[in-house]
Every structure is written in C-alpha cells, then in structure tokens.
Amino acid sequence: MSFDFDLFVIGGGSGGVRAARVAAGDTGARVALAEMDRYGGTCVIRGCVPKKLMVFASTYAPMADEARAYGWQMERGAFSWTDFRAKLDTELDRLEGVYRRLLDNSGVTKFDARAVVRDAHTVELSTGETFTAKHILVATGGRPVRPDLPNAELGIVSDDIFHLDELPRRILIVGGGYIACEFACILNGLGVEVTQYYRGAQILRGFDDEARGLIAEQMTDDGVRLKLGTNIAEMRRATAAEIAGDVSAENAGMGLPPEARVQPSAGGDSGPGPVWVRSTKGEEEVFDLVFFATGRAPNTGDMGLEEAGVSLGRGGAVEVDAYSQTAVPSIYAIGDATDRVNLTPVAIREGMAFVETVFKGNPTPVDHELIPSAVFTQPEMGTVGLSEEAAREQEPIEVYSTSFKPMQTAFAGRPDRVMMKLIVSQASRKVLGCHIVAPDAGEMIQLAGVAVKMGATKEDFDRTVAVHPTMSEEIVTMKSPTRSS
C-alpha cells in the first residue's frame, strides 16, 4: 500500500518538531506535521521560555539593593510590564520563526491546521484535506486545567499570564506545584502582591521535604503570602464597593515604594478582573486576578484516537509501551500527551527514540530513570533522583546535608540560605539523590546529574577536589552524615 507520507506528526511542540525534522533530515522520510496554534508549543510559546525570561525580569529588583551593598550608587526603579511584554512578544515571534524554518530546512511539509485521526493510517485536517501515512505520531502536549468550582472561569491559567495588558496589583495563585510556585516568585519579584493558596500541608509535593521547607520559608520571607491547607471555597466577580474598599485599604499597607507599585487594574464584567474569594478557612478577600495553577491534562480529546483503537488512560493520557507505541501499531505518542514525565527534554528524548526505533531500525526504549530537573522558584531548586523520604522507604540510607548563607548575598546583608543534600545508599554507597536549593541550582544539578546518572558513590564525590570559592563546592566537602536510617 502506498501512503501520502511516511510519517504524519500531530503537534508542533518540542517533541513533535524534533521527531519530524530528524526523521525527514536524517532518514529522508516523507514527513508532514500539523499544528493548530503556534510552532514551538507549550515550552516555547507559553511555558518554559517566556517563564524563564520572566524569572530573569523578576530578579533585577533585589539586585539593585544588593548592588548598593557592594558600593554602587543605584536605586530600585519601576518595572514596565508593557516594555517587557513587547520585547517578549518579539522574541517569541523570532523563536516560532526558527521552529518553522527548522522544519522547512529538513523538508517537512507543514500544515497550519488541527488534525484528527480517522484510522490507523489516516489523518483529517480542519481544512478538510485527508492524508494517509505509514506512521502517525501524536505529540499534542497538554493544557492547563481549572478546578471544578463554580465561577472558575473568572480565573486565568498559565497560558493567559503572558498576554495580560497590565500586571495585577494583587493576585491569588491557587496550587502548590511547579507552575504555582514559580509564578508566585516571579510576580512577587515584579512588585505584585502575591497570595498563594495550597490545599496540602507543604508546597511542591513529591520533592525532598527539607528542600520544600526551605523554599516555602524563603518565599514567605520574600513577601509571598503563602497560605497552606487553604483552598477557594467560593468565588465570584467582586462588586464595585468591594473593589473600592480593598484598593483604599491596600494603598495604606502595601509597603512597596510608590515607584515600584503596580497600578490597580480596571474591573470588568467578563474575562480576567477583580474577584471576591472566600477561602476554606473562612477568609474573604478581593484580588485583581485569580490564577489557577492546578495541574495540566493531556490534549487528546476529540481527536478520534479511541475510535481508531488507541487506548487512553487516566485523564486522557495516550497509553504507550516503552517504545512510545500505542495499541495501534502504526500510531505512536510522545510528550505530555502520554503523561509520563512532563518535561520538554523528555519529550525530545521520546521523539528521538521514536525515530531511532521506527526509521533507523534500532529499537530504543526511553530511559525515564534519574532525570534531573529544576524548579525556577526564588531560590531555585535543582534535583535528581530520590528524595530523602522516598529513598528511606527503599533501603537504609545516609543523608549528607548542609545549609549556609552564600557569600554574595550574605555580604549584602540578606538572610538567604542555600541547601545542598546527598542521599547515599548504605549498601552500595551510590548517591541515590541530590537536592540543591540555591541561586542557579538548575545549572548545578545538570552537572551533578551526570555523576548521579553514572552511578557515582559518595566516595567519588569525596575524591573530587572543591572549586573554591563557590557555593557548589559544598557538594564535595560534606564529610559526616547528618543522619542515617
């Protein structure tokens, strides 16, 4: 049977674009890709990239204060969201162009259209066109979800944050995961008064407890009103009187220098705007904006997948084997659509392994073990391997940890602390987990991750000479265990 294409990729995010261009570029396969929105997907357009640029933007305010401690005559100025957003929009346009050109240069046929699967080898586009392909790759990613709560549509989600006309004066962020904590820190740094509700006992569930505790403590010290064990009980559009009362009360107590204050946003009957909230603890408050960072779900609805024989699991995740193959042998799925490890570099790995398996005759399962990652809170967390709690469940361990004031901020009189921690197997001496809470912890964990992935023992860390004076030297100078169990 002859097909229009060897491969039809649905979704132009990090995973889909990489698979398409490597299959076409390296193997000469005839490849098509359909994207219904913007090329680059969540990571480039409404996730990692704009988020990280906002992280950078948000760190300049304390830098001015620190610079003064180092002898610079420098005053903290006002932040212009309008100026930043214009520059951000231009950068995202540029990056989308790069993604489009990468596909063109690899000979991939692009369709700016939504695609659905009609059968094991057929894809139908929103343009009405139908194409056949020997293989179909579902790389449709995920989307943010709001909680099931009356009036939840009055709140925004992470996709919306990059499009705000102006920053709110007061925001409520709901959730305690990556997105909630990262944006709490970003917006706090940009001068927004941030309240964060998290329903559990401590933010960043699943990460090392000591690391979570330190991040929560520093976020609070930096001004985030973190309310644990708290959720929204009820929400509705705020009345004019509630907004007016709230604005005057706040002007008295905001504590920010006037030039750093963000102006109150105008109310509106629909879309983002002031919201009255009653918390599960009974507190009633008015916020200019409510931001739900309450998780993401795979983008697999209304795509004809189940009708074609593909099995969908919990939350709509495409069920795949270790080679990313679905129940239909010609259909594969990678990235957040499969809800395995929802990180861009993992989707890219899965895309490369798919090409290796299907187009290069080299069956390659995806290795999901010991993936280093970072949470871009302030301070950042870099982590690889097991948390102390998870490791202790597995086997007897030794814990080496240290917490100290880093030289740069301590000199400026700031109370910030950093933490470095190794979890070591008593039996094999291997480092099972490494957790760092520090400025640039994401950069540090990438390198520590190589050692941990190689199976380095505590003694391998000990044999490595410290780089002095740095923060990360502490990772090779922790001599005695803090505790063992």
Burial 363-374 (b: 16+ CB within 10 A, else e): ebebeeebbbbb
If one asks whether residue 308 binds ligand NDP (CB under 6 A), the answer comes out as no
Which CB, 47 or 264, lies closer to ligand NDP? 47
We find the least distance from the C-beta atom of residue 90 to ligand NDP, in angstroms, to be: 23
If one asks whether residue 31 binds ligand NDP (CB under 6 A), the answer comes out as no
- Site map 147..166 versus ligand NDP, x via CB under 6 A: x-------------------
- Site map 106..125 versus ligand NDP, x via CB under 6 A: --------------------
Is 468 a known active-site residue?
A: yes
If one asks whether residue 176 binds ligand NDP (CB under 6 A), the answer comes out as yes
If one asks whether residue 300 binds ligand NDP (CB under 6 A), the answer comes out as no
The one-letter amino acid code at 256 reads: L
If one asks whether residue 373 binds ligand NDP (CB under 6 A), the answer comes out as yes
With the CA atoms of 315, 433, 173 and 96 taken in that order, what torsion angle do they form, in degrees rounded to the nearest 10? -70
* Residue list 6-25, contact with ligand NDP (CB under 6 A): none
Burial 220-238 (b: 16+ CB within 10 A, else e): eebbbbbbeebbbeebebb
If one asks whether residue 225 binds ligand NDP (CB under 6 A), the answer comes out as no
If one asks whether residue 338 binds ligand NDP (CB under 6 A), the answer comes out as no
Q: Which residue is nearest to ligand NDP (CB)?
A: 177
We find the least distance from the C-beta atom of residue 433 to ligand NDP, in angstroms, to be: 17
We find the least distance from the C-beta atom of residue 98 to ligand NDP, in angstroms, to be: 21
Listed in sequence order, the residues at least 6 apart from 234 whose beta carbon sits closer than 8 Å to its beta carbon are 150, 277, 278
If one asks whether residue 230 binds ligand NDP (CB under 6 A), the answer comes out as no
Tokens coding 137: 């790759």
Of 178, 354, 359, 461, which lies in the binding site for ligand NDP, with binding defined by CB under 6 A?
A: 178
Interface segment toward ligand NDP; rule CB under 6 A; list 97-105, 249-257, 288-296, 430-438: 288-296
**Residue count (the chain):** 485
Of 22, 161, 293, 355, which lies in the binding site for ligand NDP, with binding defined by CB under 6 A?
A: 293
Interface segment toward ligand NDP; rule CB under 6 A; list 108-116, 197-205, 358-366, 408-416: 197-205
Interface segment toward ligand NDP; rule CB under 6 A; list 89-97, 260-268, 287-295, 402-410: 287-295
Catalytic residue set: 468
Interface residues with ligand NDP (CB under 6 A) are 147, 174-180, 182, 198-200, 205, 231, 293-296, 342-343, 373-376
